[in-house]
């Protein structure tokens, strides 16, 4: 089937965009201070919290990279396996959530500082900003894919429009408005995908026809990938989720532990629907459009279905992208404000000044994100890189704060440095040997350094004795 633009679909994107901007402007009027802006006044109930967790986690990484690119490039089974890290991560966060709320910090860097000291906070802030800007950048490009598909405009121009919308919605009301738009978008995602799956399978001629039109390797367990390569695609999302500042901030913004638990269970159930749906749609697209960019697999199906269903799916795809983009942009800006500006540049900054600086940093980081996306060949490549920088650099040290009382500053900081350096060495210096993602090397290095450095610097010390006694 030939892929042709359908400008009619743009109306669905326009309606969605106007609705989100309207809600964002309305909710921005309720922002009374920095806590309102960053943590929504710790007022989120289970319904809104579930929606914002869902919408923040499922973005362009899923519909232009992740499950979509995996289904198109390697087959249905490898794509379905991409759901497993998310489910495992949600279950672990369910256990950790009460401890996150106890810390009461605006950022993950603040949590690390309470255990490892100021150096860890500074290092974590840099890691988070670099990783999150990368994540924001491919949300912008994902929106560019959508506008290219519907109007024929260049991906670059569409990316610019996506950047403007992501920056505006993050800046206008912070989490107070982002959480509300996320909640609406989250349920739009679920509904759109449920409608699309049976429709696209029928359009493609049924499951047997789809299977007949894809390479034979696409029906194997790993789609031609080695076991190590497959693990390299699975681990980045798990380690990002386990230490993701966005998730920590949202769990901290809930009304209480009861609301957080209900929201997380709803999030888990929704992901069991969303992730396989994306995989099935992208796999059907491989049969219909074998020669397109893998990142466009899901969105390409919108032009093959009835306009109403295609439009709903496209609006759902836009909601994936915009909500994830503005959430990660907001989160990165809070690091610049509270961990760097508020600590070193203006220690006596008023609450009003901190709020103003957060908005300025949102714009600056948004522009930076737009610039760097041109340096990565595919959405999947920047996704794996950003996830691993964060997952290897921060997650082992963060989880140790909650689960290992004995861990100390030397172990935590050494682990963070080792995780980042291993990622950069594997990806940039060595050029990703054997086409294996750096997470396979970087995470084990970070964990080993964490354990060894801690044990070497506490052995026989009063700290060790205290740890054993506890």
Would you list the DSSP string of 203-231?
Answer: HTT-HHHHHHTS-GGGGSSSTT--HHHHH
Q: Is residue 404 part of a domain?
A: no
pLDDT of the chain, 470 residues: tens digit per residue? 666 777 888 889 889 889 888 888 888 887 877 777 877 777 788 988 898 888 888 876 788 788 999 999 999 999 999 999 999 999 999 988 888 877 766 678 888 998 999 999 999 988 888 888 888 988 898 888 888 877 788 888 999 999 999 999 888 878 778 788 778 888 888 888 999 999 999 999 999 999 999 999 999 998 999 999 999 999 988 998 998 888 888 888 888 888 889 999 999 999 999 999 999 999 999 999 998 888 889 988 988 899 999 888 888 888 878 888 888 898 899 989 988 898 889 999 998 899 899 999 999 999 999 988 766 656 656 767 788 888 999 999 999 999 999 999 999 999 999 999 999 899 888 988 988 888 999 999 999 999 999 999 986 544 444 444 44
Number of domains comprising the chain? 1
Q: Which residue has the tokens 């203006």?
A: 346
Would you say 315 and 188 are in contact if contact means Cβ atoms under 8 Å apart?
yes
Q: Is residue 432 part of a domain?
A: no
Q: Is residue 196 part of a domain?
A: yes
Q: Can you tell me the distance from the alpha carbon of 84 to that of 228, in angstroms, rounded to the nearest whole number?
A: 16
Q: Is residue 81 part of a domain?
A: yes
Q: Is residue 443 part of a domain?
A: no
**Burial of 160: CB neighbours in 10 Å, binned 0-12, 13-18, 19+:** middle
Which domain does 182 fall in, by range? 8-379
Q: Is residue 360 part of a domain?
A: yes
HSE-up of residue 279 (Cα within 13 Å, Cβ side):
21
HSE-up of residue 14 (Cα within 13 Å, Cβ side):
7
Q: Is residue 385 part of a domain?
A: no
**Max intra-chain CA distance, the chain:** 71
Q: Is residue 441 part of a domain?
A: no
Would you say 378 and 366 are in contact if contact means Cβ atoms under 8 Å apart?
no
CATH number of the structural domain spanning residue 273:
1.20.1730.10
């Amino acid at each position: 089937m030939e892929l042709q633009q359908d400008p009619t679909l743009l109306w669905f994107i326009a309606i969605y965009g106007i609705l989100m901007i309207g809600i964002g402007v309305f909710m921005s009027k309720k922002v009374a201070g920095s806590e309102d802006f960053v943590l929504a006044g710790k007022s989120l109930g289970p319904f809104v919290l579930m929606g914002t967790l869902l919408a923040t986690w499922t973005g362009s990484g899923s519909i232009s990279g992740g499950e979509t690119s995996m289904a198109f490039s390697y087959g249905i089974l490898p794509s379905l396996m991409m759901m497993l890290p998310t489910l495992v991560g949600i279950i672990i966060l369910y256990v950790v959530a009460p401890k996150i709320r106890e810390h009461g910090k605006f950022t993950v860097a603040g949590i690390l500082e309470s255990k490892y000291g100021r150096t860890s906070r500074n290092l974590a802030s840099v890691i988070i900003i670099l990783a999150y800007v990368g994540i924001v950048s491919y949300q912008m490009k994902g929106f560019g894919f959508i506008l290219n598909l519907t109007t024929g405009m260049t991906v670059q121009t569409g990316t610019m429009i996506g950047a403007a919308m992501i920056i505006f919605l993050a800046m206008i009301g912070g989490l107070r408005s982002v959480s509300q738009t996320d909640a609406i978008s989250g349920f739009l995602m679920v509904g759109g995908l449920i409608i699309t799956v049976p429709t696209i399978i029928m359009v493609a001629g049924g499951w047997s026809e789809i299977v007949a039109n894809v390479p034979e390797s696409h029906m194997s367990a790993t789609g031609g990938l080695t076991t190590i390569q497959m693990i390299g695609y699975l681990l980045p999302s798990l380690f990002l989720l386990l230490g993701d500042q966005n998730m920590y901030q949202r769990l901290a913004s809930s009304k209480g532990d009861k609301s957080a638990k209900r929201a997380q269970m709803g999030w888990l159930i929704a992901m069991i629907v969303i992730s396989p749906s994306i995989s099935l749609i992208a796999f059907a697209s491989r049969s219909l459009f074998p020669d397109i960019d893998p990142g466009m697999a899901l969105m390409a199906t919108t032009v093959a279905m009835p306009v109403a269903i295609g439009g709903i799916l496209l609006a759902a795809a836009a909601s994936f992208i915009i909500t994830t983009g503005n959430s990660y942009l907001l989160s990165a800006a809070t690091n610049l404000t509270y961990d760097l500006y508020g600590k070193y540049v203006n220690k006596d900054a008023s609450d009003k000044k901190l709020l103003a600086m957060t908005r300025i940093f949102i714009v600056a980081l948004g522009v930076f994100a737009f610039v760097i996306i041109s340096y990565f060949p595919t959405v999947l490549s920047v996704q794996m890189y950003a996830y691993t920088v964060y997952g290897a650099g921060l997650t082992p040290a963060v989880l140790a704060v909650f689960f290992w009382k004995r861990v100390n500053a030397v172990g935590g900081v050494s682990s963070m440095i080792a995780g980042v350096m291993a990622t950069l060495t594997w990806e940039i210096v060595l050029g990703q040997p054997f086409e294996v993602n750096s997470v396979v090397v970087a995470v084990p290095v970070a964990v080993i350094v964490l354990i060894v450095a801690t044990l070497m610097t506490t052995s026989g010390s009063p700290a060790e004795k205290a740890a054993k006694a506890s």
